[in-house]
């Protein structure tokens, strides 16, 4: 009898945990640029506003730099323009799209000593 109650309670606890995990995951926005589909890895976790608030990033141009004639223009910004508009997936000149994401995300995490730098830290499995 007690063993059966224990089993039922364990089943409920497991269900609650599974539901919590399922909801937490579907709530987390990820980067899924059209240009990189179909992605080999689980799409990188990036909750735009929450990330930037936590990281205290107020200057949009830190990530959304503007450019002219193939060079970054420090005084401008390009929020609203997808990275892929300037960084082609198969670019042979300059920074191609995957490198653009990797360099921007990882360089800051490395220099600040905060944020994930291992593959699974950003490409979080479901
Ligand atoms: C840490 C880097 C970073 C910072 C800082 C940042 N963004 Fe972004 N933002 C991104 C990335 C990455 C994307 C996705 C772009 C892509 O994949 O083409 C994005 C997308 C967007 C988009 C496109 C709409 C959408 O949700 O897809 C808008 C608009 C935007 N950002 C506005 C802003 C504004 C305004 C600020 C400053 C208050 C800002 N961003 C600061 C990285 C950043
Ligand atoms: C308006 C065009 C434009 C947009 C939009 C743009 N870039 Fe760039 N980016 C450039 C140009 C031009 C360069 C310099 C040449 C090169 O490296 O390709 C550059 C350079 C870079 C570099 C290498 C130099 C550095 O600063 O470390 C990275 C990394 C990068 N971009 C990431 C991104 C990411 C990530 C996004 C989207 C959030 C983005 N870029 C949006 C035009 C753009
Ligand atoms: C200019 C600096 C900077 C850039 C660029 C940046 N990050 Fe971060 N990121 C941080 C910092 C700082 C933290 C740690 C925030 C904290 O918890 O204090 C962080 C934390 C994270 C976390 C941990 C989750 C969280 O909310 O605590 C993830 C995931 C992440 N970043 C993904 C990305 C991705 C993906 C990109 C590129 C699209 C990116 N970051 C670009 C600074 C940056
Ligand atoms: C700081 C965050 C971050 C880390 C760490 C990171 N990536 Fe990424 N990666 C991204 C972002 C952002 C993109 C563009 C959005 C996407 O495709 O998930 C990307 C795209 C990719 C892509 C192209 C899209 C696809 O899935 O086919 C591959 C492949 C990839 N990463 C492999 C790796 C590998 C391997 C590592 C470890 C050596 C790694 N990444 C570490 C953020 C990261």
Could you report the per-residue pLDDT of 12-29, keeping only the tens digit for each?
665 555 555 544 445 689
Q: Which atom of ligand 4 is nearest to the CA of 36?
A: 24
* Residue 43 pLDDT > 90: yes
Q: pTM for this one?
A: 0.91
Model confidence at 39, pLDDT cuts 50, 70, 90, reads: very high
Is the shortest distance between the CB of 78 and ligand 2 below 6 Å?
Answer: yes
* Residue 61 pLDDT > 50: yes
With respect to residue 110, please indicate whether it lies within any of the assigned structural domains.
yes
* Residue 60 pLDDT > 80: yes
Name the percent of the chain in helix, strand, coil, to the closest 5: 50, 10, 40
Give the domain extent around 77.
30-122
31: closest CA among 77, 90, 97, 91? 97
Q: Which atom of ligand 2 is nearest to the CA of 104?
A: 29
Structure confidence at residue 25 (pLDDT): 47
How many domains is the chain partitioned into structurally?
A: 1
With respect to residue 61, please indicate whether it lies within any of the assigned structural domains.
yes
């Amino acid at each position: 009898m007690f063993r059966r109650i224990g089993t039922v309670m364990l089943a409920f606890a497991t269900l609650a945990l599974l539901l919590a995990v399922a909801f937490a995951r579907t709530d987390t926005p990820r980067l899924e640029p059209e240009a990189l589909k179909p992605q080999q890895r689980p799409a990188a976790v990036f909750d735009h506003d929450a990330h930037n608030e936590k990281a205290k990033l107020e200057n949009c141009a830190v990530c959304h730099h503007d450019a002219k004639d193939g060079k970054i223009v420090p005084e401008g910004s390009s929020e609203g323009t997808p990275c892929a508009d300037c960084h082609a997936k198969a670019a042979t000149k300059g920074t191609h799209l995957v490198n653009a994401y990797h360099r921007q995300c990882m360089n800051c995490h490395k220099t600040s000593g905060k944020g994930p730098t291992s593959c699974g830290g950003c490409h979080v499995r479901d």
